[in-house]
Chain A
Amino acid sequence: MAISPLEPARAAPGSTTGPILQMDKSTVRFGEVVANDRVSFDLAPGEIHALLGENGAGKTTLMRVLAGLIQPDEGQVFVRGEARSFESVADSVAAGIGMVHQHFMLVPTLTVAENVSLGLRSAGRLFPNTARVGRELRALADKHGLSLDPSARVSDLSIGQQQRVEIVKALYRGATILILDEPTAVLTPGETDSLLAMLRSLTEQGTSVVFISHKLREIRAVADRVTVLRHGQTVGTWALDSVADAELTSAMIGRDAAPTVSSRLAPTTSVAPVPRLAVERVGARDRRGHAVLDSVSLSVAPGEILGIAGVDGNGQTELAEILSGVRRPSAGEVRLDGANITAATVAERIGHGLAHVPEDRQRTGLILDLSIAENLAMETVGTAMFSRRGSLNRAAVRAHAEDIISRFDIRCSGPDQRVRDLSGGNQQKVLIARAVSRAPSALVVSQPTRGVDLGAVENIHRQILDLAAQGCAVILISTELDEILALSDRIAVLYSGTIISTYDRATVDLGTLGMNMTGQSV
């Protein structure tokens, strides 16, 4: 494995050809955790510089230093060759830095213009002139060929539009250095393409961009150079035209990339007469009474994996909740082996062999302050396996946990370790193991690898495939198209609360799904 990082160029003070921005040995500690360990990074004028690294590598932390939100413990920042320290966001904005955060910093109840005027002196000290700000925003957006309605309420905008607002907001506040933290994580493939095109046109007009991602394909498409971070340290910086994907992947994960799980192009079992798990014309409403699921029908046979693709927020959460029994549908039926279980409680469904892996492991999946062993026993704690006449058999709970920890390769100090102290990937393994180890006859799994490092992704995919091979019917809900394509036998696309298309895996490609996800049928 040959890694040949570029030497960072050192700028002479006041020089115009050197980097516009440079970070030198920046170190940030959070208690025991060293989130950034002497990281160096530089950005050339008009460049798109990608930051690549697994979850927890320290990318966001590094950029929060630039945004003035964190003061580094050590290290220096140079802007146009001059040493600067950012005590506050205002300092950073004054230096021409604008950050688009991974979770948008827009107040949903305010309009676009109000959001941009927030805290902005030039909008008016006492009474902000939002009308003027709105006009100027529109002009700025037009200049960059974007459409933007300054009087729209942010909560009425799509995610892609909100992101555009964030970018225009940064530009309006005078940013010449734009930082985007995982901007594509929430976008459809189509929206991603237009974002990348927009970034390129911005750099042509002189803006420099830091682009954080862990998707190589996008980095390839847009960036000039890439810096890889791992465990808080810089692994190296490369020009993209002189480095291979494999090299970057191994730099990112610290070893050679394992072959990805092969996709399941071979058709599996023929469709059984009675599907294992099915929903018929189910509907759901949110707390304002708007329909979030409308007449959705799906079914999955034993041994089959049905992938549900779609952009976040199109009804996935509600569908999973209806299947698992957490939410009552406003219409329709849920069937397991032909029996109507619409009114069955979560516990009754578990008793009938249905397993569920919720999308948010920290909020609904696990109880973070309990041990691994306790979390693993949670769903079936009342059964003969773990308790007798109401008293818990601690030895059995422990033994069960030890068995699972070794079988599922959960990296921990032992069954008594608190789940909170595990990494995201290992937390997810606990959650998957709990579902899979019961040998369920049907599994509903949501976002199984969200925020999980690559090593754990393989492990989790393997568990899901093995379970299906043993005859379990699986509904896989994921916003990651690669994951859906790699695991599913059939794929349905959920858009705006309805299933707008269903395909056999063999007959569909990424492009078609991407179109469907934005509501366009092909």
Chain B
Amino acid sequence: MDIFNWIVSAQGEGFFSATMRLAVPLLLAAVGAIYAERSGAINVGIEGMMLSSALSAALVAADTGSPTLGLLAGVVTGIAVAALLAVFTVLLPADPVVVGIALNLLAVGGTTFVFRIFSNQVGTTTTTPGIDAEPIPLLESIPILGPLLFDQSYLVYIALIGVVITWVVLKFTSWGLLLRAAGEHPAAADSLGLSVNRTRFVALLVSGAFAGLGGAFLSLVASTQFVENMTAGRGYIAMAILILGHRSPWGVLLASLLFGLGDAFQLRAQLDNTGVPFQFLLMIPYVLTIVTLAVFGRRLIDPAALGTHFRRGHR
């Protein structure tokens, strides 16, 4: 098949637009996690945050008829779950991995329960109002870039702006400096009268807000309905993307596009009836996670204080 013809065909356009659609929830969650991890706090609860937000976004959108309100509900839910995580892991403090996993498990059961109560349905909702793609005239017809960037919902632009803002915050703002200090040498920040734990708390909330956007994207944009356990491990993949992207906004953008590509590829392959059992195709993003982590994860140097609790004068 002639590659160029395929790219501009409806199939090719569908492929690139799917790539972005599949990449963005991962991108949002992973960009948020940059804040948490650079400040030294580990957010293992991304999966639970995304799932809870996907549900609340769908329910609110269905109830009010406004997808924007649904989106807001998703963000608020993400922040609320993150606050719970932060109270346990920063203030108390308990082990962040154990608490994060507990939250994720709680979210699976909790969302199913709440969903069945409110919707009187099992499995999936009927379609809810979603956020539609808005093609930008002229630009949308550029090959590859058109479907990738200019025929998408505004949430995609929010995600991309989030990348730029994160880069600016980390590199140029006082809070970014504080964030990096808290992650690398918390005692140094403390010795200057800055609160390490408050910084980490806020960083986790920011992470929750981004994960909430990512979750809402799933139930408002990617599909306009809630499906039980619809995140299907995307929160964990976001953590892998974070590592693969070396906890930098641009790196995370590239890594999530790579995963979006892998996911779009397996969807395409399923439609094209390649003869490969679909179960194997479904594995592609997960295999990609393991392989890339094994290959690229090793050279990464973690923030020195990642995952440690800070207490003044504690030895």
Interface of A toward B, CB cutoff 8 Å = 64, 67-70, 88-90, 93, 99, 101, 103-110, 114-115, 117-120, 123-128, 288
- Residues on A with C-beta less than 8 A from B178 are 118-119
- Residues on A with C-beta less than 8 A from B190 are 69, 89
Count of A-B contacts judged by CB separation below 8 Å: 73
Q: Shortest distance in angstroms between B166's beta carbon and chain A's nearest beta carbon?
A: 15
Bound CA span A403–B173, Å: 62
Chain B residue with the shortest CB-CB distance to A289: B299
Instruction: State whether A67 and B174 are in contact (beta carbons under 8 Å apart), knowing that A107-B184, A107-B185, A110-B181 are contacts in the complex.
Output: no
Q: Provide the main secondary structure of the chain A interface.
A: loop
Report B75-93 residues with CB < 8 Å from chain A CB.
none
9 contacts between A and B (CB under 8 A): A67-B191, A70-B313, A118-B174, A118-B178, A118-B181, A118-B188, A118-B194, A120-B192, A128-B174
- Residues on A with C-beta less than 8 A from B172 are 127
- Residues on B with C-beta less than 8 A from A288 are 301
Number of B residues near A (Cβ < 8 Å) is: 22
Complex contact A106–B313 (CB within 8 A): no
Q: Shortest distance in angstroms between B177's beta carbon and chain A's nearest beta carbon?
A: 5
Complex contact A117–B177 (CB within 8 A): yes
Interface of B toward A, CB cutoff 8 Å = 172-175, 177-178, 180-181, 184-185, 187-194, 301, 304, 312-313
Q: Shortest distance in angstroms between B169's beta carbon and chain A's nearest beta carbon?
A: 10
B177, B312, B313: the one within 8 Å of A114 (CB): B177
- Residues on A with C-beta less than 8 A from B191 are 67, 69, 89, 99, 101, 105
- Residues on A with C-beta less than 8 A from B187 are 103, 105
Complex contact A119–B194 (CB within 8 A): yes
Task: Using A103-B187, A117-B177, A123-B174 as known contacts, list a sample of 7 further A-B pairs with CB atoms less than 8 Å apart, ordered by residue number in A.
Answer: A89-B193, A93-B193, A108-B185, A110-B177, A119-B178, A119-B193, A125-B174
Instruction: State whether A119 and B180 are in contact (beta carbons under 8 Å apart), knowing that A105-B185, A105-B192 are contacts in the complex.
Output: no
Complex contact A128–B177 (CB within 8 A): yes
Complex contact A88–B189 (CB within 8 A): no
Q: Shortest distance in angstroms between B185's beta carbon and chain A's nearest beta carbon?
A: 4
- Residues on A with C-beta less than 8 A from B173 are 126-128
Bound CA span A434–B193, Å: 44
Complex contact B181–A69 (CB within 8 A): no
Complex contact A117–B192 (CB within 8 A): no
- Residues on B with C-beta less than 8 A from A88 are 193
Q: Shortest distance in angstroms between B61's beta carbon and chain A's nearest beta carbon?
A: 35
Bound CA span A89–B188, Å: 12
Q: Shortest distance in angstroms between A141's beta carbon and chain B's nearest beta carbon?
A: 19
Q: Shortest distance in angstroms between A423's beta carbon and chain B's nearest beta carbon?
A: 14
Bound CA span A358–B181, Å: 31
A67, A70, A107, A126: the one within 8 Å of B188 (CB): A107
- Residues on B with C-beta less than 8 A from A115 are 188
Complex contact A69–B313 (CB within 8 A): yes
Complex contact B174–A119 (CB within 8 A): yes
Bound CA span A67–B180, Å: 23
B174, B175, B181: the one within 8 Å of A107 (CB): B181
Chain B residue with the shortest CB-CB distance to A99: B191
Complex contact A109–B184 (CB within 8 A): yes
Chain A residue with the shortest CB-CB distance to B188: A105
Bound CA span A483–B192, Å: 36
Chain B residue with the shortest CB-CB distance to A288: B301
Bound CA span A119–B190, Å: 10
Bound CA span A119–B189, Å: 8
Bound CA span A431–B85, Å: 42
Complex contact B174–A127 (CB within 8 A): yes
- Residues on B with C-beta less than 8 A from A103 are 187
Bound CA span A70–B314, Å: 12
A99, A108, A126: the one within 8 Å of B184 (CB): A108
Bound CA span A121–B239, Å: 34
> Which one of B188, B189, B312 has the highest number of Cβ atoms from chain A below 10 Å of its Cβ?
B188
Q: Shortest distance in angstroms between B140's beta carbon and chain A's nearest beta carbon?
A: 36
Bound CA span A70–B304, Å: 25
Complex contact B184–A118 (CB within 8 A): no
- Residues on A with C-beta less than 8 A from B312 are 69
Bound CA span A118–B189, Å: 8
Q: Shortest distance in angstroms between A408's beta carbon and chain B's nearest beta carbon?
A: 26
B188, B194, B304: the one within 8 Å of A106 (CB): B188
Complex contact A117–B174 (CB within 8 A): yes
Q: Shortest distance in angstroms between B207's beta carbon and chain A's nearest beta carbon?
A: 20
B184, B185, B192: the one within 8 Å of A119 (CB): B192
Bound CA span A118–B192, Å: 8
Bound CA span A103–B301, Å: 22
Instruction: State whether A126 and B174 are in contact (beta carbons under 8 Å apart), knowing that A69-B312, A89-B191 are contacts in the complex.
Output: yes
Complex contact A90–B193 (CB within 8 A): yes
